[in-house]
Homo-oligomer: A and B are copies of this chain.
Amino acid sequence: MLKYALLGFLKYRSLTGYDLKRIMDTSTTNFWHADLSQIYKTLKTLEAEAAITATVEQQTERPDKKIYTITDKGLADLAQWLATPLTETTPLKEILLLKLFFSGDSSSTHLLTQLRLQRELHQQQLAQYQQQTLADMAENIALMGADANDVLLWDATRRAGILYEEMYVRWLDETIERIAAQFQEGAS
């Protein structure tokens, strides 16, 4: 999947692995993230598949740059991925829910502390999404040469983040209340 994310960015312009990491961290990281070493590894694979080509730019005061450019094959691979409809939903993996599921023997104070901490984290994430304006996206828009459609879709992903975090905080509030009211302290 990361493969297609990298191709997606490289379609706009040629970039280094380091660039790609920086751009992902300011755009897709809330629904798709990757580690630098993983990006380098995936770029190598893509190069082997002839989906991208590399050119080295010599630098004197910094390490040399390896700039990757998407090939026709890369463009075709990306187009094919985008054209294939998703016939399933992405399954969730939520550590908090897993933990909660097995916490029947925990004390309610311990549970409430954990849930309140998570509430704070999600609240912060929500605030961050809400503060992100078009101005904050301007840098990426300029760098990538994004058009109106791109901005519409990028904003839709930000909107998804807002709704997700709002939902999460609401669920935590509800769950905190229920545990505070009904949880029985164990005799075990």
Do most interface residues of chain A lie in helix, strand or loop, or is the interface mixed? Answer: helix
Known contacts A153-B104, A157-B100: does B27 contact A117 (CB below 8 Å)? no
A67: CB under 8 A from chain B? no
| Ranked 3 nearest A-B pairs via Cβ | A8-B102, A31-B97, A104-B150
Sampled A-B contacts (23; CB under 8 Å): A1-B93, A1-B95, A1-B98, A28-B97, A28-B98, A29-B91, A32-B93, A32-B94, A32-B97, A82-B106, A87-B121, A89-B96, A90-B93, A100-B153, A100-B156, A101-B154, A147-B184, A149-B186, A152-B179, A152-B183, A159-B171, A160-B171, A166-B167
